[in-house]
Amino acid sequence: MIGVSSSNKSFRALARYLVEGRAEEAENRVAWIASRNLPTDDPELAARIMRATAAQNVRVKEPVYHVALSFDPGDVVDRAAMERVADRVVETLGLQEHQVLIVAHADRDHPHVHLLINRVHPETGKVWSRWQDYPAIQRVLREEEEALGLRRVPGRFTERPSSERDLTKGLADDLQTYERLVEVGRQRYNAELESAAAQARVAQLDAAAERARRALDTLKESLRAVYRDPDHALGSFLAAAGKDPAAAARQMQETPERFGDLLTADRGMGRSRTDDSAARGTARTAAAAGRDVIEAERAFRVAIAQARNGRRKETTDGSDQEPADARAAVRADLERTQVSLGKVRDEQQRLPGLHLLERTLARGLWELSPPEFNRLRLAVTGAQFSLARKLRHMAQDVALGRDGEM
């Protein structure tokens, strides 16, 4: 069994939570309700009575005492057994004369019961002190586990398989492993982002290169219907486009002869022997293809720059790096990121699962008595001890029903 306690200010708020929980938990949440030293089992009315009782002592700031008792999912316990354990805890703490509301829940895999207790005595008005309540609760639970034949949970008041020093060292090692798991998770996330970005750059560069290739093939095909020497015309056009792309495309459309000799046809019948009108008409189509080549080449250069993450690389003669070299460099970046990601994944696989270790740590830390937990500070770093406190509180929240099952 696991038992955990806390103090609160509002009887009504805790009673309402024990009955209703969160909105999605209200249905079939409560298995049964019982009370001690109260004339009612109604949580709302019981909370009012307990609040009025606590008002006898104006100095108490947190009159609400909350104890949660959780049994193992494999434990077969009925209401009588659960009430027996609850009454033993109340009696051992010296609260048998105080007002107690017992609420059993059926919303988890494991049986568990909550005790809402008034720290203010109903007759004397004296306030019960929580000092040393933890060891008292744990002692009762160990005794009841043996008496009822329930699963034994290692704790402060049972024999442990190792010394306190070994236990502390084990927890310290687990905290260090947990820190490394968190760091490896962060590294994997960053590596996956970097790899995805590299893949996107490669895909963008390949798409831009394919577009430029198709545009150039279309231009070459168009120039065959315009020029006697289409290869020479292509070179002349590309050279002009490198200086003034818009002018080159306009010249191809209006004065295509600037780039080479046009194809002509023999007209005959005493007229001019040749006619280049068909070639000039086709040149307008070639001009459109030329514009596509210019635009595709510009997009390709932009893709190269983006693929290099904005880093411009030049050759020794001062010219831009060749596209083939740029694509090779981008693919090398992708390979590097994938290798790094593979290493991080391999390390993550060798380590225990984060959530499993988190649950194990939380329960192990919770089982430490307060002095033991404070001594843990000497064996870990400040960041690790802060993590230990967070995980210990997490286990307490689960035991009190304030969070999801661990």
pLDDT in tens, 371-387: 888 888 888 888 888 88
Backbone angles phi, psi at 274, to 5 degrees: -125, 155
Statement: residue 315 has pLDDT above 60? no
Question: CB-based contacts of 314: which residues, under 8 Å, 6+ apart?
Answer: 320, 321
What pLDDT was estimated at residue 309?
58
What are the tens digits of pLDDT across the range 168-200?
Answer: 777 888 888 888 888 888 988 998 888 888 888
What are the tens digits of pLDDT across the range 291-312?
Answer: 999 998 888 888 877 776 544 4
What Cα–Cα distance (Å) separates residue 323 from each residue in 215, 237, 290, 309, 314?
16, 20, 20, 15, 11
Statement: residue 289 has pLDDT above 50? yes
Q: 191 or 399, which is more confident?
A: 191
What pLDDT was estimated at residue 310?
46
Range from 127-131, 152-156, 249-253 carrying the lowest mean pLDDT? 152-156
pLDDT interval class at 130 (50, 70, 90): confident
- Burial 311-323, CB ≥16 within 10 A → b, else e: eeeeeeeeeeeeb
Range from 32-41, 72-81, 91-100, 298-307 carrying the lowest mean pLDDT? 298-307
What pLDDT was estimated at residue 178?
85
pLDDT interval class at 80 (50, 70, 90): very high
User: Bridge-partner residues for 113, per DSSP?
Assistant: 69, 104
As a whole number, the mean pLDDT across the chain is 83
Statement: residue 326 has pLDDT above 80? no
What pLDDT was estimated at residue 34?
96
Q: What percent of the chain has pLDDT above 90?
A: 34
Average pLDDT over residues 102-121: 91
What pLDDT was estimated at residue 113?
93
d(CA 64, CA 50): 9
pLDDT interval class at 406 (50, 70, 90): very low
Q: 272 or 168, which is more confident?
A: 168
d(CA 1, CA 58): 36
d(CA 248, CA 268): 34
Statement: residue 164 has pLDDT above 70? no
Average pLDDT over residues 129-150: 86
The upper half-sphere exposure of residue 251, i.e. CA atoms within 13 Å in the direction of its Cβ, equals 16
pLDDT interval class at 29 (50, 70, 90): confident
What pLDDT was estimated at residue 116?
96
Statement: residue 258 has pLDDT above 80? yes
Q: Of the spans 34-43, 266-275, 277-286, 391-400, which averages the highest pLDDT?
A: 34-43
User: 0.75 cut: is pTM over it?
Assistant: no
What pLDDT was estimated at residue 272?
52
Statement: residue 157 has pLDDT above 80? no
Statement: residue 51 has pLDDT above 90? yes
Statement: residue 324 has pLDDT above 90? no
Give the 3-state secondary structure of residue 321: coil
Statement: residue 37 has pLDDT above 90? yes
Q: 325 or 322, which is more confident?
A: 325
Give the 3-state secondary structure of residue 406: coil
Q: What is the DSSP string of 12-46?
A: HHHHHHHHH-SGGG-TT-EEEEEEES-S---HHHH
